[in-house]
């Protein structure tokens, strides 16, 4: 294998509305996501992302939100096996949380890091392991896109207009080519698009 293929990939995952927002006017209100997040295409897609990954890279807000929810899924009666699988992976995986305010790691197997995102990713990529998965942490993904450090960009598009709210892609990102590695259409008009960075 070449050195490039052996290198750890930075894989980002984000859900977007059809009009390009990752959240609405109230970023805490994710009710627009729920009808689509529980579809087969969304669950299968998430499984395809975490299975080759060994590290989760998160911002503080997502880390705390995930901690409050996902461990409870493991023993939840009637939980979808794919959700249980992801929850078990998330608990067991190494986690790096980027934060200037957290003093103590919010989870086991977690390191809190107050350093530039690019530096943290450089250290992670230099260590052995599988993919480095960034799960819906917009601030982290934005920083990685700005530094051209995303190797695989995964987007799940939900067929709703939010009308307002923050966007994932800011003006001024580095120019570059992306290769469509996967496209999947599912229930309720959900579409998964996976792009690999062409370097």
- Say how far apart CA 144 and CA 150 lie, in whole Å: 6
**CA gyration radius for the chain?**
16
pTM of the model: 0.92
- Say how far apart CA 73 and CA 87 lie, in whole Å: 6
CA distances, 112 to each of 106, 115, 166 (Å): 8, 10, 25
**SS3 for the chain, per residue?**
CCHHHHCCCEEEEEEEECCCECCCCCCCCCCCCHHHHCCHHHHHHHHHHHCCEEEEEEEHHHHHHHHHHHHHHCCCCCCCHHHHHHHHHHHHCEEEEECCCCCCCCCCCEEEECCCHHHHHHHHHHCCCCEEEEECCHHHHHHHHHCCCCCEEEEEEECCCCCCCCECCCCCCCCCCEEEEEEEECHHHCEEEEEEECC
Q: Provide CB contacts within 8 A for 101, sequence distance 6+.
A: 60
**Each residue's pLDDT tens digit in the chain (199 positions)?**
333 446 899 999 999 999 999 999 888 888 999 888 888 999 999 999 999 999 999 999 888 888 888 999 999 999 999 999 999 999 999 999 999 998 888 788 999 999 999 999 999 999 999 999 999 999 999 999 999 999 999 999 999 999 999 999 999 999 999 999 999 998 889 999 999 999 9
CATH class of 3-197: alpha beta
- Say how far apart CA 86 and CA 21 lie, in whole Å: 25
CA distances, 96 to each of 2, 27, 140 (Å): 27, 23, 11
End-to-end CA distance of the chain: 17
Q: What is the pLDDT of residue 6?
A: 62
* Partner residues linked to 193 by β-bridges: 155, 183
Q: Provide CB contacts within 8 A for 88, sequence distance 6+.
A: 74
């Amino acid at each position: 294998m070449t050195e490039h293929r052996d290198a750890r990939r930075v894989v980002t995952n984000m859900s977007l509305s059809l009009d390009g927002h990752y959240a609405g006017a109230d970023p805490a209100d994710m009710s627009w996501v729920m009808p689509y997040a529980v579809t087969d295409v969304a669950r299968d897609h998430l499984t395809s992302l975490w299975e080759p990954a060994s590290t989760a890279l998160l911002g503080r807000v997502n880390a705390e939100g995930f901690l409050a929810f996902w461990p409870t899924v493991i023993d939840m009666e009637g939980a979808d096996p794919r959700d249980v699988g992801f929850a078990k992976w998330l608990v067991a995986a190494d986690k790096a949380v980027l934060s200037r305010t957290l003093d103590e790691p919010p989870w086991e197997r977690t390191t809190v890091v107050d350093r530039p995102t690019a530096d943290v990713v450089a250290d992670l990529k230099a260590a052995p392991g599988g993919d480095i998965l960034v799960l819906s942490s917009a601030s982290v993904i934005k920083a990685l896109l700005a530094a051209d450090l995303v190797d695989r960009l995964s987007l799940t598009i939900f067929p709703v207009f939010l009308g307002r709210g923050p966007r994932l892609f800011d003006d001024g990102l580095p120019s570059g080519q992306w290769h469509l590695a996967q496209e999947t259409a599912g229930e309720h008009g959900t579409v998964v698009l996976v792009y690999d960075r062409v370097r």
